[in-house]
Amino acid sequence: MPYQLPDSELNLRERLYFPEVIQGVGIIMKQFLRNFFFGRQKDPDVLARDRSLSQNATIAYPEERVPYPPAYRGLHRLVPREDGRPRCVACYMCATICPAQCIYIEAGEYPDDPIEKYPVKFVIDELRCVVCGFCVEACPKDAIRMDTGEHAPPSYTRAAQVWDEKRLLRGPPVSYQNDPWLRRGSPSISPEKLQEMRARAKPFPLNATDEYAQTPGFSVRALASEAKGK
C-alpha cells in the first residue's frame, strides 16, 4: 500500500529557509569537529569499527587493508600441472561463457602429443572483466581459478591490464587421477615423474563448488549452512 505524502503549504519558518540552512551547517560542523579532534579509528576493519566518536571510515591504502571475505573472487590464474604446463586444454568454454568477452584463446597441439591441445595464447582483459566467475564454473579441467585473493593493480596504460598466459600461469599445481596425461602418459614426461604425479593426484570431487576443487578455504556448503543457522 503506498504511503501518503503530506500536501500542506509551507509555513513562514520553512519559507525563510534560514533555520534549515543553519541546521544543515550544524550537522556538517558536528561531523567535522568529531573527526578533527577525535581522530580516525586505527582498526582496519571498517565494519567492526566503533562509530560512537568518529564516523570517518577512510582506509589509508595500501598501508591499511580491509580483509577480504572468504567468497572474494580475486584475479584469475591459470592452474599449472605438476610438470609446469597449464591444465588448460583450449576448449574455449571459458571464452564462450564470458559475458564481457574479455578472454581470448588460440589453441595449439603439443608436438609430442597430437591428441592433447594447449593454449598457445591465453589473454584476459582485466579491465573488461566483470568478476562474475562464470569462467571458473564452466572450465571442465579446473584450469582457471580466481583464488589469488588479489585485485588488479593500478597502472597508467591499458596494456598493463591485459594479462597473457605467462602472467596468468602461477600458483600451486593441481593433479587429478582422471587427468588424461596421467592415465595414458605423455612422451614429454619421464616414467619416474609420471609415477610421482600419479601418487600426488587427487580424486576429482563430485561437487564442483566444493573448496576441494575450487578456492581453498571457501565452501558454498559451509556458507549455506551458516546462513541457514542464522
* Domain layout of the chain by residue ranges: 10-67, 77-214
Nearest to 197 by CA among 208, 184, 210, 207: 184
C-alpha cell at 63: 598501508
Nearest to 148 by CA among 214, 223, 209, 222: 214
More confident residue, 228 or 47: 228
pTM above 0.75, yes or no: no
C-alpha cell at 26: 550544524
C-alpha cell at 60: 589509508
Side chain identity at 202, as an amino acid letter?
A: K
> Given a cut of 80, is residue 155 above it in pLDDT?
yes
More confident residue, 64 or 122: 122
Q: What spatial distance separates the first Cα and last Cα of the chain, rounded to whole Å?
A: 30
Distance between CA atoms of 147 and 139, rounded to whole angstroms? 15
What confidence score (pLDDT) does residue 42 get? 54
* Fold adopted by 77-214: Alpha-Beta Plaits (3.30.70)
C-alpha cell at 83: 610438470
Residue 191: helix, strand or coil by DSSP?
helix
The percent of residues above 70 in pLDDT, for the chain, comes to: 77
Structure confidence by residue, pLDDT tens digits, 19-76: 888 988 999 998 788 777 766 555 555 545 555 545 556 666 777 777 777 677 788 9
